[in-house]
Each structure stands twice: as C-alpha cells, then as structure tokens.
Structure 1
C-alpha cells in the first residue's frame, strides 16, 4: 500500500456547451451513460444496478475489435448536480472484481471524482482519477499511463460532446 501523500492523481477538465443538470444526468443516468461512455467504437451495456449513493453498477463494454471488458462501479457520492464519486474496477461477467486484463501491475480500484460547475456557456467538469491503495508498482504503472489516459478521456469527452449536442 502506498502512502496517501504519494498516491498519484490524474486530473482532466473539459467544458461542455450544455446546462449543468443535463451534463450531470448524462453521467448519473445509466441509460444516458451507456450511450456515450468508453472509447470510440465501444458499445456499453448496463447489466445490473443503478447510479445512486451506495449502489453498484455492473457493465459490459464491447469494443469494435471484438474485445469484451466488464466493469463494476461502487457509487460513493451522487450529489446532483455538483458531485459524483465512484470506485471502478475491472470485473468478470458475474460482477466479481478481477485484475486488469491488459496491464500486469494496475491498481485494482480507481476512484473517479467528478465536480460539475456551471460556467458561462455551459458546464465545466473536473475529473480526478485516483488509485485506491495501490502498491508502489501499481502507482508507477498508473503514472506511466497518464498520457494515454488523457487521450482516452478526451475521446470519451468528444463522444459526450456529441451526445449532449444531439
């Protein structure tokens, strides 16, 4: 386990040309979230659960290349329209947490902490991604992947932009 003072944190911001309630609902409504989340070409299907404080959501992601991933999210805070916090892990088809399928050393759980702020012309979100209790090796792997995370989240945000505009 790493010391909280040295646990890495990834942060990204984006402003969307939509009202704060609309942007928040795109994250906090499972049907809406499934329509835009994930990399381009990925189809997300919510298998079970809901998005509310104390609830879990189990989802399947089907990639354009035929790959399949499952995730499990534990929702810690759903405070409409300002704040959303969930712990995300890779899972199997039954909703059991499993190791990351594409990195040898990756944190078992990532905390996603999103703040929504109404600004002129729309809503700015600040998303923080923080490994939960990573080993030193997992923390180093997380840091090494930050450039890729920027690209991944930017792609998801592009999809969210299109979804909100539609």
Structure 2
C-alpha cells in the first residue's frame, strides 16, 4: 500500500500524510501539475473531483468541485503560494460556494507537498503532504468531517495512475 502513515497532531494543529511510490519524482509531480490527472485522485473515491480552473503558479488559483454519491457538489479552491517543480508545492485550501468564491466562514488549510527521491537508484518517490490548521476548532471540524480518512483514500488512488 502506498500510504505509509497519516498522523493527526492536535497540539501542532497538523495532519500529515506520508506515502511511497515506485515511480520517479517527475511522474508523481504530474499527478499534481496536470489538472486532468489531479481530478482522477483528488478526493476520496466516493467524491471524485472535477477541476474547473487551474493555475499552478505562485499567486494562482485552482478551483474544483466534488460530486458525491447523492449528487451533492461541494466546491473548493486553492490559492497557490509557492511552486518548485518537481519537488515542492504550497497552497491554501478552502471551501467555496457554487460559483467558486471562497466561503469566509469555513476553515482555510495551509498545505505543503514535498516529493523526494528514494531508493538506491533514486527511482522511487517519498511524498509528504502536510496540512496545518489555524485553530483546534478548525482542525476538529475537519477531523469530524473525516479529513484524515478522505486524504488517505484519495492518495491511495495515486498508485493506479502511476502503474
């Protein structure tokens, strides 16, 4: 299994997922950098994502929606902070209304993705996805919504795309 750990740390206000892939860093990076690939794994299998707008440059935004099993369509957005292909991405993640506008009363999660080469030949990749919350209340809200399990289920779909 790709995901090696998911750790919720309420003292540090963080959720960290670690995963290892038998694919080079550049191929794993493409799962983040290509919107058609991103939408094939971003979100748990029961809530597949559709990327509506995609600008993965510093200051750019990514907007998306997920489609639930009952037809509900929650919307989300990223505001990209920094990008250093193929190893580093930072963005703020949040919920949006149906038009894609950020909801002011929902949690904003600071997310950092780091990809590093692993293995003697350097052909594997270790991915760390760290989410930091602004308060325990926001972290508790996201935990109660099943964020840890959702991000695990989402990341576990990456192997199929790398095969």
Q: Same fold (TM over 0.5)?
A: yes
CA contact (8 A) 1:10 1:146 kept: no
Structure 2 gaps of 5+ residues are 1-10
Query: How far does the alpha carbon of each residue in 1:45-67 deviate from its partner, in whole angstroms, 9 at most, with x for none?
Result: 12123222210011111112322
Aligned length: 150
Whole-angstrom CA distance in 2 between matches of 1:146 and 1:24: 30
More helix as a share of residues: 1
> Residue 138 of structure 1: SS of its match in structure 2?
helix
CA contact (8 A) 1:30 1:50 kept: no
- Cα drift, residue 84 of structure 1: 0.7
> Residue 45 of structure 2: SS of its match in structure 1?
coil
Partner residue of 2:102 out of 92, 97, 104 = 97
Partner residue of 2:43 out of 29, 38, 44 = 38
Structure 1 gaps of 5+ residues are 1-5, 101-106
- Cα drift, residue 43 of structure 1: 2.7
> Residue 157 of structure 1: SS of its match in structure 2?
helix
Partner residue of 2:150 out of 146, 149, 152 = 152
Whole-angstrom CA distance in 1 between matches of 2:43 and 2:115: 20
> Which stretch of structure 1 is more off in the superposition, 145-154 or 122-131?
145-154
What RMSD over aligned residues (CA atoms) do the two structures have, in Å? 2.2
Q: How does 1:14-53 map to 2 (within 5 A)?
A: 14-53=19-58
Query: How far does the alpha carbon of each residue in 1:124-163 deviate from its partner, in whole angstroms, 9 at most, with x for none?
Result: 11111011x33x5334445xx2894332222111111111
Partner residue of 2:80 out of 51, 60, 75 = 75
CA contact (8 A) 1:13 1:125 kept: yes
TM-score normalised by length of structure 1: 0.80
Distance change >3 Å, CA 66–CA 147, structure 1 → 2: closer
Distance change >3 Å, CA 80–CA 18, structure 1 → 2: same
CA contact (8 A) 1:72 1:90 kept: yes
- Cα drift, residue 37 of structure 1: 1.2
Whole-angstrom CA distance in 2 between matches of 1:94 and 1:149: 23
TM-score normalised by length of structure 2: 0.82
CA contact (8 A) 1:7 1:139 kept: no
**Residue of structure 1 in register with 2:159 after alignment:** 161
CA contact (8 A) 1:45 1:59 kept: yes
